[in-house]
Amino acid sequence: MESDEKIRLAIENTLVLRPPRQQLATFGVTNVYYYMITELMPEVNVVREGRVIAARPKIVTPAYLMHIEGFSGPARRYIQMAAEQNPHEPGILYSYKNEFGEMSVVSEPLGSIVDNINRRIDSHNDPLSAIIRGVEDMWDVSLMKFTFHLTRNSVYHNFSEIYGRGRLHIDTQGVLQDARDSIEELFEATRKDPSCAPELVSELHRWNLWNSYQDRFLKLFRKL
């Protein structure tokens, strides 16, 4: 079977049996604990546990994305074209990290496993736990489908909160208020912890703001 076909089947056969009761946080990091159940053979299932860690959603523009590494040539050209047409059009960038935890093989039917995990989640009263039924040889694809839907279900809420705080305002330099606020937070973080300085420098360059903030940064750095 071709790889694309296997991926398609994995997506079609992935079900979120228990979604998180909370959406992704708009102004902070979200930690979602997942239980991924996949069938190894009849009444023998693999249970994988881990965390999907969602960084704080970032408001970006095509012009900003031009300075982010990791895009292929065609993808970068697409971003460039978008930047030429609407350089300051805002959008939400989500980034995730998967921390894999325990894995166990359980000789029980799916329903019994789900009931046991539900009781465990209820006992901890955890609104950020999820149960997913995935496909064994494509379980990471199943996890990606879950992550995609987690994002899609949070976008409207996140965007509304950001808009409500006025962070979508664009100044005369074409910089979003959200970016200005984030830079201020990074300056404060760097003042307290010098190891945050590289992230601050990178963010200033991505927004083409290094010249505007250079003196302030160097002054802060000398104080460190």
Clarify whether residues 192 and 112 are in a common domain. Answer: no
Instruction: Count how many domains the chain has.
Output: 2
CA–CA dist 68, 76 (Å, integer): 9
Beta strands in the chain (DSSP E): 15-18, 30-41, 44-54, 58-60, 91-93, 96-106, 129-134
Beta strands in 89-146 (DSSP E): 91-93, 96-106, 129-134
pLDDT tens-digit map of 127-186: 999 999 999 998 988 998 999 888 888 988 998 998 888 888 888 888 889 999 999 999
Clarify whether residues 29 and 52 are in a common domain. Answer: yes
Clarify whether residues 102 and 159 are in a common domain. Answer: yes
pLDDT of residue 125: 92
Clarify whether residues 20 and 117 are in a common domain. Answer: yes
* pTM of the full structure: 0.76
- The sheet carrying 96-106 orders its strands as 15-18, 129-134, 30-41, 44-54, 96-106
Clarify whether residues 103 and 82 are in a common domain. Answer: no
pLDDT of residue 61: 82
Which single residue is written with the structure tokens 């290094």? 210
Of the three residues 129, 163, 197, the one that is the final residue of a domain is 163
- What would the two tokens of residue 81 be? 């074209």
Task: Compute the mean pLDDT over every residue in the chain, rounded to the nearest whole number.
Answer: 88
Which single residue is written with the structure tokens 């201020």? 184
Clarify whether residues 141 and 115 are in a common domain. Answer: yes
pLDDT tens-digit map of 25-38: 998 899 999 999 99
Q: Quote the domain boundaries for residue 204.
A: 58-92+169-223
Report which secondary-structure segment, H or E, holds 142.
helix 139-164
CA–CA dist 17, 108 (Å, integer): 17
- What would the two tokens of residue 48 be? 């994988």
- What would the two tokens of residue 27 be? 């102004």
- What would the two tokens of residue 191 be? 């003042």
Looking at the chain, the whole-number percentage of residues with pLDDT higher than 70 is 94
pLDDT of residue 78: 67
Q: Reply yes or no on whether the pLDDT at 106 is more than 90.
A: yes
Clarify whether residues 46 and 115 are in a common domain. Answer: yes
Clarify whether residues 118 and 44 are in a common domain. Answer: yes
Do strands 15-18 and 44-54 pair parallel, antiparallel, or not at all (unpaired)? unpaired
Clarify whether residues 50 and 65 are in a common domain. Answer: no
Clarify whether residues 115 and 154 are in a common domain. Answer: yes
